[in-house]
Amino acid sequence: MRYLFWIIVLVAVVFACTHQTVRVEGFEVHGIDVSHHQSRINWDSVAMQKVHFAFVKASEGVTLNDSLYCFNWEEMKRVGIRRGAYHFFRPNLPAEIQAENFASHAEMAYGDLPPVLDVEVLDGASKVQLITGIRTWLYLIEIRYGAKPILYTNLKFYNRYLAGHFDGYPLWIARYNSREPRLACGRDWQFWQYGNRGKLNGIAGHVDFNVFNGSLDDLESLCMAPPVILSQR
């Protein structure tokens, strides 16, 4: 029976990794995230398929920049898709330099979604180094753009390393399943990446599918806004 159980588990894992992702029901706001791995995207086609937002990779570590970031960034604006940019975090590299790498490459404006920090590897760093580095990057980017960044990670990584930290920041959680993520600390998530084998016209190959935990108005309220200027009397 034990061997049968593990065979069933293995088959389920293989199926989840190879089966095409189908859009989940019950959510008003749908989105995707992309990088150079999707090659050159036809954003006019994407915009016609109920895609309300998209995140694009901007940078990684201290020197790497995504080769298609600028193209994707301008095209998302042109077709009217709410856009956001993310940085892939390397915990064993200086967080200050990583923040500067993102900020020097990501030209964000009012109406865009907040910057995103993608955290999913340790790279040999300790938990203390990880938490300290994340906190530094989030703080510097919040100061730079005047908006609280979004924290992206997968469910297991969050529950093991990040639960109980960064409660003031919006969460984007990856869990490839038909069931919504449940966080160990009990807090809510704002974005859910539920599959990585989605298919859309205009994108060659597969793309990650996401939903937003709220309405279109809620998504709008999360976007970066100009500072409030108080009148002086």
Calpha distance 232→108 (Å, rounded) = 29
Q: Which of 33, 60, 75, 118 is catalytic?
A: 33
User: 38: Cβ–Cβ under 8 A, 6 or more apart, which residues?
Assistant: 68, 203, 204, 205, 207
Q: Collapsing DSSP states into helix, strand and coil, what is residue 57?
A: strand
Q: Return the structure tokens found at 52.
A: 């309300």
Calpha distance 87→98 (Å, rounded) = 8
In the annotation, is 33 catalytic? yes
Calpha distance 191→205 (Å, rounded) = 23
Q: Which of 44, 96, 107, 120 is catalytic?
A: 120
In the annotation, is 120 catalytic? yes
Calpha distance 186→94 (Å, rounded) = 31
Other CB atoms within a 10 A radius of the CB of residue 148 amount to: 17
Q: How far apart are the first and last CA of the chain?
A: 79
Catalytic amino acids? 33, 120
